Amino acid sequence: MPITSSAKKALRVARRKGIFNAKRETAIDRETRLIKKLVKEGKAKDAAAALPQAYQAIDKAVKVKFWKKNTAARAKSKLARLVNSVKGKK
């Protein structure tokens, strides 16, 4: 446990940020899982429609510096390739 007042404050800040970080991670995971599920089922239009929500969650994570820009770009590219692979099959 922290002893100094600055260490106590740092712990409070870390816990508070941890809550927001968990929300960000959950949002990204939820949207990614949804797209992967839709792709697996072969629903290209629904997967393409879900893509902007995933992009939004990823962009918000970058905005609050939860993810780095390149990590976000790589994740967005991966999702787009996944959706386009289903579109190409039809």
pLDDT confidence of 48, banded at 50, 70, 90?
very high
pLDDT score for 82? 94
Which whole-number Å values give the CA distances from 68 to 38, 52, 78, in the listed order?
Answer: 27, 19, 16
Bigger pLDDT: 86 vs 33: 33
Calculate the CA 54 to chain-centre distance. 7
What b-and-e string marks burial along 65-77, b requiring 16 or more CB atoms within 10 Å of the CB? ebbeeeebeebbe
- The residue segments making up the domain with residue 27 are 5-89
pLDDT score for 22? 96
Per-residue pLDDT tens for 50-65? Answer: 999 999 999 999 999 9
Percent of the chain with pLDDT over 70: 97
pTM above 0.85, yes or no: no
Handedness of CA 71, 76, 77, 79 (dihedral sign): positive
List the CATH number of the domain containing 36. Answer: 1.20.58.110
- In 3D, which of 75, 80, 61 has the Cα closest to residue 17? 61
pLDDT score for 83? 94
d(CA 48, CA 87): 9
Number of domains in the chain: 1
d(CA 18, CA 32): 21
